[in-house]
């Protein structure tokens, strides 16, 4: 019994020391230490599997990879900087004016991510699953050299089988195919389902596999990115995963409303670099795509785009700082769509300040809930925001999964990030910052179409809610930091 007591106390002491050595907010550290002291075994278990940040070695490996990998240096980097000469003064002036629009935000993001603003891109918004899947299939069929295919959720239903068979067909034609998926989100993606892909020569990797010793204590850190890259010239990214549910066939959710995006141009090199780093993170293997005849991609359009990957292995909370900077940047309007709205105090204050200085702040969330705890927790923030002048809307027809931030008349942030602690601190995310009046106008039109099918949340209606609803919203708000 004495030996058992000594072991338990030693375990508590070791765990508390590890908590102190991890950089986190004092309230969070105090809560973990109290949990471990009150419930030694349970607290230690939960800390190592849900609270421990085991990424120091990974950070060093990624830095080493970034410094030595030939394809990133020789292919991606020339495209991430302005090395082509301007044709004339007008082109130079247009480029400088575009940069002026984002001078503060872009410099911040350059420093945070190492990804610079790219120019001469074309981007097309896709607003439903059927349209998105059709274009994905069309572009994959046209692939000649290689395909990078990465999703948070890849459901082995009829849609998943269709994409699997399409990738197998391209692999048998000699196209190099790399398939990366998050393990925890795809536990039902069986060996039987994946085996035909591997037999066809497709390289398959799981991100942070649950049963791997090399990825121990990473169960709470998932890869939420959705990305398809084709021959280094075309890309898809956004909020849509692969499966029947995303065609709106989930009756409980009454459908599915999402944004996804197809791109061509210099931004593809940045997205390719993100995939290469994710692949290296998951497998410790590097990929060397076929070299292009020219290091410069052909100009495809006039949209400036900056890739913003983020994750728990970053030195700072990149996505959190990005949102704070963009809210501060807004001069006229700030329109946001998010499926999960659980902001921390700094974001709440930023939204309140923006509304109080006259910015048109609009936040749209789904009326149809996917997860009830998140739904109730989100509602707990509405009153204090509405009182400050923020307009809150609830999208009525079905579940809204779009992640969009539209600033003024020319800036947008799109991608995979939700406005919650999990996206900011725990998940590997991928977003794009765009500078284009036309693209901004396109997204505003989509937002307004959704607005026409939404209800405005009124302060008086919140004040008249029944006791059970108020109790649930306040109860689940306590768990907001871990949602």
**Consecutive 10-residue averages of pLDDT for the chain (483 residues):** 70 73 67 74 69 54 44 38 45 48 56 78 94 96 96 96 97 96 89 95 88 58 93 95 94 94 94 93 81 58 91 82 90 96 93 96 95 88 94 96 95 94 89 94 97 93 75 75 60
Q: Which residues contact 302 (CB under 8 A, 6 or more apart)?
A: 119, 120, 436, 438
Nearest to 423 by CA among 454, 446, 401: 401
Sign of CA dihedral 125, 244, 449, 454: negative
pLDDT value for 72: 37
Q: Which residues pair with 414 in a beta bridge?
A: 404, 432
Which structure tokens are listed for 25?
A: 């907010």
Sign of CA dihedral 274, 278, 281, 283: negative
Q: Which residues contact 384 (CB under 8 A, 6 or more apart)?
A: 348, 352
Beta-sheet pairing, 303-310 with 333-337: unpaired
CA angle 287, 290, 294 (to 5 degrees): 130
Residue 145: exposure state from Cβ atoms within 10 A (0-12, 13-18, ≥19): middle
Q: Measured between alpha carbons, how far is 430 from 275 in angstroms, rounded to an integer? A: 10
Contact 410, 97 (CB under 8 A): no
Assess whether 403 carries a catalytic annotation.
yes
Q: Which residues pair with 264 in a beta bridge?
A: 122, 234
pLDDT value for 15: 76
pTM (predicted TM-score)? 0.83
Assess whether 170 carries a catalytic annotation.
no
Q: Measured between alpha carbons, how far is 311 from 225 in angstroms, rounded to an integer? A: 10
| Catalytic entry in 182, 258, 278, 408 | 408
pLDDT value for 51: 62
Q: End-to-end alpha-carbon separation of the chain, Å?
A: 39
Assess whether 379 carries a catalytic annotation.
no
Structural domains of the chain ordered from first start: 56-100+119-304 (3.30.870.10), 318-482 (3.30.870.10)
Assess whether 408 carries a catalytic annotation.
yes
Q: Measured between alpha carbons, how far is 74 from 66 in angstroms, rounded to an integer? A: 12
Assess whether 231 carries a catalytic annotation.
yes
Contact 444, 468 (CB under 8 A): no
| Catalytic entry in 231, 302, 420, 450 | 231
Q: Which residues pair with 257 in a beta bridge?
A: 400
| Catalytic entry in 403, 420, 431, 450 | 403
Sign of CA dihedral 19, 24, 30, 34: negative
CA angle 241, 289, 62 (to 5 degrees): 75
Q: Three-state SS string across the chain, please?
A: CHHHHHHHHHHHHHHHHHHHHCCCCHHHHHHHHHHHHHCHHHHHHHHHHHHCCCCHHHHHHHHHHHHHCHHHHHHHHHHCCCCCCCCCHHHHHHHHHHHHHCHHHHHHHHHHHCCCCEEEEEEEEECCHHHHHHHHHHHHHCCCCEEEEEECCECCCHHHHHHHHHHHHHHHCCCEEEEEEECHHHCCCCHHHHHHHHHCCCEEEEECCCCCHHHCCCCCCCECCCEEEECCCEEEEECCCECHHHHCCCHHHCCEECCEEEEECCHHHHHHHHHHHHHHHHHCCCCCCCCCCCCCCCCCCCEEEEEEEECCCCCCCHHHHHHHHHHHHCCCEEEEECCCECCCHHHHHHHHHHHHCCCEEEEEEECCCCCHHHHHHHHCCHHHHHHCCCEEEEECCCEECCCEEEECCCEEEEECCCECHHHHHHCEEEEEEEECHHHHHHHHHHHHHHHCCEEECCHHHHHCCCHHHHHHHHHHHCCHHHC
| Catalytic entry in 215, 226, 273, 379 | 226
| Catalytic entry in 224, 260, 319, 379 | 224
Assess whether 224 carries a catalytic annotation.
yes
Q: Measured between alpha carbons, how far is 68 from 62 in angstroms, rounded to an integer? A: 10
């Amino acid at each position: 019994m004495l030996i058992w007591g000594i072991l338990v106390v030693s375990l508590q002491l070791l765990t508390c020391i590890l908590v102190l050595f991890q950089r986190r907010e004092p309230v969070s550290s105090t809560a973990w230490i109290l949990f471990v002291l009150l419930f030694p075994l349970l607290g230690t278990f939960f800390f190592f599997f849900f609270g421990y940040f085991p990424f120091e070695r990974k950070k060093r490996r990624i830095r080493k990879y970034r410094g030595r990998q030939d394809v990133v240096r020789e292919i991606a980097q020339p495209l991430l900087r302005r090395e082509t000469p301007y044709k004339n003064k007008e082109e130079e002036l247009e480029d400088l004016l575009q940069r002026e629009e984002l001078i503060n935000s872009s410099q911040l993001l350059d420093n945070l991510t190492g990804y610079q603003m790219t120019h001469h891109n074309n981007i097309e918004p896709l607003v439903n699953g059927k349209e998105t899947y059709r274009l994905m299939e069309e572009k994959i069929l046209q692939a000649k050299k290689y395909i990078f295919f990465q999703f948070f959720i890849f459901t082995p239903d009829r849609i998943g089988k269709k994409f699997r068979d399409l990738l197998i067909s391209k692999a048998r034609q000699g196209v190099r195919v790399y398939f990366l998926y998050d393990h925890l989100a795809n536990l039902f993606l069986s060996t039987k389902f994946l085996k035909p892909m591997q037999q066809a020569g497709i390289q398959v990797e799981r991100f942070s596999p649950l049963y791997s010793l090399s990825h121990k204590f990473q169960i709470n850190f998932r890869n939420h990115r959705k990305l398809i890259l084709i021959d280094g010239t075309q890309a898809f990214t956004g909020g849509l995963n692969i499966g029947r549910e995303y065609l709106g066939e989930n009756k409980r959710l009454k459908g599915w409303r999402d944004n996804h995006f197809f791109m061509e141009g210099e931004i593809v090199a940045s997205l390719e670099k993100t995939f290469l780093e994710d692949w290296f993170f998951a497998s410790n293997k590097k990929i060397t795509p076929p070299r292009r005849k020219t290091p410069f991609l052909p100009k495809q359009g006039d949209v400036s785009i900056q890739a913003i990957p983020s994750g728990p292995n970053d030195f700072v909370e990149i996505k959190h700082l990005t949102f704070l900077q963009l809210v501060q940047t807004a001069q006229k309007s700030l329109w946001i769509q998010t499926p999960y709205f659980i902001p921390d105090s700094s974001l709440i204050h930023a939204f309140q300040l923006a509304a109080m200085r006259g910015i048109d702040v609009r936040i749209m969330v789904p009326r149809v809930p996917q997860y009830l705890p998140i739904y109730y927790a989100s509602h707990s923030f509405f009153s204090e925001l509405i009182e400050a002048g923020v307009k809150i809307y609830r999208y009525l027809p079905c579940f809204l999964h779009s992640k969009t931030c539209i600033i003024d008349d020319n800036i947008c942030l799109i991608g995979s990030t939700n406005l919650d602690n999990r996206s900011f601190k725990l998940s590997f995310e991928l977003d794009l910052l765009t500078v284009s009046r036309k693209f901004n106008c396109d997204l505003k039109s989509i937002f307004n179409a959704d607005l026409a099918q939404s209800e405005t949340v009124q302060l008086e209606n919140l004040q008249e809610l029944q006791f059970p609803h108020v109790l649930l919203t306040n109860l689940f708000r306590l768990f907001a930091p871990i949602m």
